[in-house]
Amino acid sequence: MRFNALQKNIPDISQKMLTVTLRTLEEDGFVRRQVYAEVPPRVEYSLTDRAISLLPHINSLITWAKDNMNAILVDRENNRLKS
């Protein structure tokens, strides 16, 4: 996926923050950066096998969060009212 496509699909992320995040993910082995020798230069990002192996765990966490979010919000509000 190209940088501009990523930026369009991630709401409210600045160019600098996306650049820093992609560099960190690349350094940690979660994202592969492919530079094509073209004019103008083209760069594409893709997930590595490490990142793909993490997806089922992320999806489980998302499911857990959806299942528990209402209770979490109720607890948060109750604790806020006690303060």
The Cα–Cα gap between 12 and 82 comes to 34
In the CATH scheme, what is the code of domain 1-47? 1.10.10.10
Instruction: Please say whether the beta carbons of 7 and 20 come within 8 A.
Output: no
Residue range 28-47: mean pLDDT, rounded: 96
- The predicted model scores a pTM of 0.77
Per-residue model confidence (pLDDT) at position 83: 79
Instruction: Please say whether the beta carbons of 64 and 58 come within 8 A.
Output: no
- State the average pLDDT for the chain: 97
The Cα–Cα gap between 63 and 78 comes to 24
